[in-house]
């Protein structure tokens, strides 16, 4: 079966720096694939190239067999790829419900239908009890849930999460991991950029490791953490296994 | 609990009756003139609020749409004898189409850059009309006196018909604003105001929805222009196309509470009578005292109540600080 998402030879330069250098990977429908790597490895750039925020200098992105390289971000969203941001983005002067409705309107033009759809994703994200609260009053952890709920409300087949787990307490982390697994169980494919290794180990079917813009390793979580090149990339020469 | 439900209904009914009876009680031309100007500027502020308050596009060029509306209907009437009511729709449509034409090159300008571009656009329109022979250039257009009546949109004996027409236009604009705020479009406008990136990942076409906001706003402002032309029966570039009109509209909306439905109306109710009364009572002395009082009030409100008068009233009425349907914070240009 053809992969749901396929990146082929993505290269993106900023001035002389190659933030992504010939990166290729693919994601099958129903998978959870993590992208990890040290700071500055090019994870967010790769995300941006796939979701239409950057146009890669070379390489192609295929989604569901169609080329989407360089399409506008809103168009890519309408095709079924949703994403969240590393720095959480919600509409601060709207309530939690209104935020979710703004996402839901993409697949439900009428207000009543959008409200129902928003209620469903909020229930899934564990925010049903906070529907009437202004988004700006939420904790960081709840804002991240809301951002995820908004992304889900757009009805994606592929959901891309950019460091959703960062800065959470262990309890919050367990809840979000359970939420992501539930999202997958409902048929959404996920690509996750993540630093929190506990989440990577528990969630991922496969892991892609970037370092200095290149893909250095790809494999199951167990294979990847035992790989000498990965250890070297994270910890430096002295810890070469 | 009942009082909370009934009170607004009673207040709204009382206000409605008072508005309907006002011309019966105050027959003099000046009180009616003040009210008509209040409705007119409220209408323009409501229109501005759709693009500025909801969608975060700070236009300082509304006078261009106002003037285009006024000139379109007046020229159609003077040159071709077209009814001002058809001219009204044509004026709104011409303003909206001009807005679309200017909106395309400006569609990626944000925050202050959009505001600057809007001033430049309005000034270009003003200078163009000042030199455009077809519409009388700097001399402007004088609308011929026709038999008065609803059909000719002219009333010579009393200002009361203008009063009711302006009120009706304002109510229609408010209905549009209310409908927009509750629809998908209104939610998308607010998402666009919050963040370009966030709007895009929710599948919102930034350019398309900004265009809708500009065109809606321009249409309503153009309608206001036609009304003004039929009210004054004379227009030249200096009376409808100048920057102070644009600034006044922004001030009214911001002061009343940008982003809320009723805020722009409240702003007009506070500022327009103040401006008219201080102009008439104090302006002739040549001291500029009227502008000083006006300026001081604007400064005080913006310093002490940045959410506008609407925010102040709302805060008094509802004691919950973060009420779900409360007014949003004063809408800054996007990209804060």
Task: Give the tens place of pLDDT for each residue, A131-173.
Answer: 999 999 999 999 999 999 999 999 999 999 999 888 889 999 9
Residue with structure tokens 């079966």? A1
In a domain, B113, yes or no: yes
pLDDT, tens only, B216-262:
999 999 999 999 999 999 999 988 998 989 988 998 998 888 888 99
Contacts B195 to A, Cβ<8 Å: 89, 91
Distance CA A11, CA B282 (A): 69
In a domain, B173, yes or no: yes
pTM: 0.88
Partner residue facing A74 (CB), from B204, B324, B328: B204
Task: State the pLDDT confidence band at B297, using cuts at 50, 70 and 90.
Answer: confident
The ipTM value here is 0.91
Contacts B191 to A, Cβ<8 Å: 91, 102
Residue A161: the pLDDT is 94
Residue B46: the pLDDT is 97
Distance CA A154, CA A50 (A): 17
The C-alpha of B271 sits at a distance from chain A's nearest C-alpha, in angstroms, of: 27
pLDDT, tens only, A194-204:
888 888 888 99
Is B145 exposed, middle or buried (CB count within 10 Å of its CB: 0-12, 13-18, 19+)?
Answer: exposed
Q: What are phi and psi of B26, to 5 degrees?
A: -100, 105
pLDDT, tens only, B108-134:
788 789 899 999 999 999 999 989 988
pLDDT, tens only, A21-66:
999 999 999 999 999 998 889 999 999 999 999 999 999 999 999 9
Region B12-34: mean pLDDT is: 88
The answer to whether the CB of B209 falls within 8 A of the CB of A105 is no
Largest CA distance in chain A: 60
Q: What are phi and psi of A122, to 5 degrees?
A: -70, -40
Task: State the pLDDT confidence band at A13, using cuts at 50, 70 and 90.
Answer: very high
pLDDT, tens only, A96-111:
999 999 999 999 999 9
Asked if B184's CB is within 8 angstroms of A114's CB, the reply is yes
Region of poorest pLDDT, from A9-13, A145-149, B149-153: B149-153
Region of poorest pLDDT, from A182-186, A211-215, B102-106: B102-106
Listed ranges A24-33, B20-29, B139-148, B283-292; the one with the highest mean pLDDT: A24-33
Q: Residue A18 is inside which H or E element, if any?
A: strand A17-27
CATH of the domain at B292: 1.10.3470
- Residues β-bridged to residue B234: B142
* A46, A119, B107 from A115: Cα distances, Å: 33, 6, 30
State the DSSP string of B108-152. Answer: T--HHHHHHHHHHHHHHHHHHHHT-GGGTGGG-EEPPP---BTTT
In a domain, B31, yes or no: yes
Residue B259: the pLDDT is 87
Put simply, whether B259 touches A (Cβ < 8 Å) is yes
Contacts B311 to A, Cβ<8 Å: none
Asked if B201's CB is within 8 angstroms of A91's CB, the reply is no
The C-alpha of A7 sits at a distance from chain B's nearest C-alpha, in angstroms, of: 19
In a domain, B35, yes or no: yes
Domain span at residue B132 reads: 2-317
In a domain, B328, yes or no: no
In a domain, B87, yes or no: yes
* A98, A112, A137, B53, B314 from A93: Cα distances, Å: 10, 21, 9, 12, 15
Residue B335: the pLDDT is 36
Structure token digits, residue B335: 């990209």
| Percentage of residues of chain B with pLDDT beyond 90 | 48
In a domain, B195, yes or no: yes
Region of poorest pLDDT, from B270-279, B289-298, B321-330: B321-330
Put simply, whether B20 touches A (Cβ < 8 Å) is no
The answer to whether the CB of A59 falls within 8 A of the CB of A70 is no
In a domain, B323, yes or no: no
* A43, A151, A190, B231 from A82: Cα distances, Å: 17, 5, 10, 52
Residue A40: the pLDDT is 86
The answer to whether the CB of B152 falls within 8 A of the CB of B230 is no
pLDDT at A241 over 60: no
Asked if A109's CB is within 8 angstroms of B201's CB, the reply is no
Please state, rounded to an integer, the average pLDDT across all residues of chain B.
86
Number of domains in chain B: 1
Among B86, B45, B48, smallest CA distance to B69 is for: B86
The C-alpha of A103 sits at a distance from chain B's nearest C-alpha, in angstroms, of: 5
C-alpha gyration radius of chain A: 18
Partner residue facing A105 (CB), from B187, B328, B329: B187
The answer to whether the CB of A73 falls within 8 A of the CB of A25 is no
Residue B327: the pLDDT is 44
β-strand pairing of B234-235 with B141-142: antiparallel
Residue B219: the pLDDT is 98
Spatial neighbors of B191 by CB under 8 A, at least 6 apart, are A91, A102, B198, B199, B202, B204
pLDDT, tens only, B164-211:
999 999 999 999 999 999 999 999 999 999 999 999 999 999 999 999
Residue A39: the pLDDT is 86
Residue B154: the pLDDT is 87
Instruction: Name the residue of chain B whose CA is nearest to A51's CA.
Output: B201
Q: Residue A206 is inside which H or E element, if any?
A: strand A206-211
**pLDDT: which is higher, A1 or A207:** A207
């Amino acid at each position: 079966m053809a992969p749901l998402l396929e990146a082929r030879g993505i290269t993106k330069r900023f001035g002389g720096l190659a933030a992504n250098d010939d990166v290729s990977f693919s994601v099958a429908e129903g998978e959870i694939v993590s992208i990890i790597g040290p700071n500055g490895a090019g994870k967010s750039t790769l995300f941006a190239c796939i979701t239409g925020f950057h146009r890669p200098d070379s390489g192609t992105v295929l989604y569901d067999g169609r080329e989407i390289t360089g399409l506008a971000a809103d168009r890519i969203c309408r095709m079924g790829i949703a994403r969240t941001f590393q720095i959480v983005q919600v509409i601060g002067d709207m309530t939690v419900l209104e935020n979710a409705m703004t996402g839901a309107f993409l697949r439900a033009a009428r207000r009543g239908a959008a409200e129902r759809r928003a209620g469903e994703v909020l229930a899934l994200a564990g925010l049903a009890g906070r529907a009437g609260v202004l988004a700006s009053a939420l904790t960081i952890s709840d804002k991240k849930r809301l951002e995820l709920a908004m992304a889900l409300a757009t009805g994606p087949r592929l959901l891309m999460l950019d460091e959703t787990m960062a800065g959470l307490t262990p309890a919050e982390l367990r809840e979000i991991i359970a939420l992501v697994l539930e999202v997958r169980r409902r048929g959404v494919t996920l690509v996750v950029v993540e630093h929190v290794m506990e989440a990577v180990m528990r969630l991922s079917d496969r892991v892609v490791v970037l370092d200095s813009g290149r893909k250095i390793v790809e494999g199951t979580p167990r294979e990847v953490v035992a790989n000498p090149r990965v250890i070297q990339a994270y910890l430096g020469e002295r810890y070469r296994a | 609990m009942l009082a909370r439900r009934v009170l607004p209904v009673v207040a709204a009914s009382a206000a409605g009756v008072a508005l309907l009876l006002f011309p019966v009680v105050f027959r003099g031309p000046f009180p009616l003139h003040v009210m008509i100007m209040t409705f007119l500027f409220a209408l323009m502020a409501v229109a501005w609020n759709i693009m500025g308050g909801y969608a975060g596009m700070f236009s300082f060029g509304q006078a261009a749409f106002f003037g285009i509306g006024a000139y379109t209907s007046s020229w159609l009437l003077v040159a071709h004898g077209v009814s001002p009511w058809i001219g009204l729709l044509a004026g709104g449509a011409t303003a909206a189409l001009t807005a679309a034409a200017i909106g395309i090159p400006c569609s990626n300008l944000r925050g202050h850059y959009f505001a600057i571009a809007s001033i430049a656009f309005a000034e270009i329109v003003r200078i163009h009309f000042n030199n455009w022979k077809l519409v009388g250039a700097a001399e402007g257009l004088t609308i011929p006196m026709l038999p008065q009546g609803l059909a000719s949109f002219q009333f010579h004996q009393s200002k009361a018909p203008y009063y009711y027409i302006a009120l009706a236009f304002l109510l229609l604009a408010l209905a549009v604003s209310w409908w927009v705020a509750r629809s998908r479009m209104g939610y998308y406008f607010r998402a666009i105001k919050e963040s370009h990136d966030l709007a895009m990942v929710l599948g919102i076409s930034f350019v398309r929805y900004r265009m809708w906001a500009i065109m809606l706003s321009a249409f309503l402002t153009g309608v206001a222009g036609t009304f003004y032309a039929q009210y004054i029966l004379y227009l030249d570039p200096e009376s409808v196309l100048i920057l102070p009109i644009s600034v006044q509209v922004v001030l009214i909306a911001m002061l009343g509470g940008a982003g809320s439905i009723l805020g722009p109306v409240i702003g007009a109710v506070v500022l327009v009578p103040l401006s008219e009364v201080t102009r008439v009572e104090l302006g002739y002395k040549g001291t500029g005292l009227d502008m000083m009082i006006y300026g001081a009030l604007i400064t005080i409100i913006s310093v002490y109540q940045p959410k506008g008068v609407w925010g102040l009233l709302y805060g008094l009425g509802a004691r919950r600080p973060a009420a779900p349907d409360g007014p949003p914070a004063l809408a800054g240009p996007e990209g804060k």
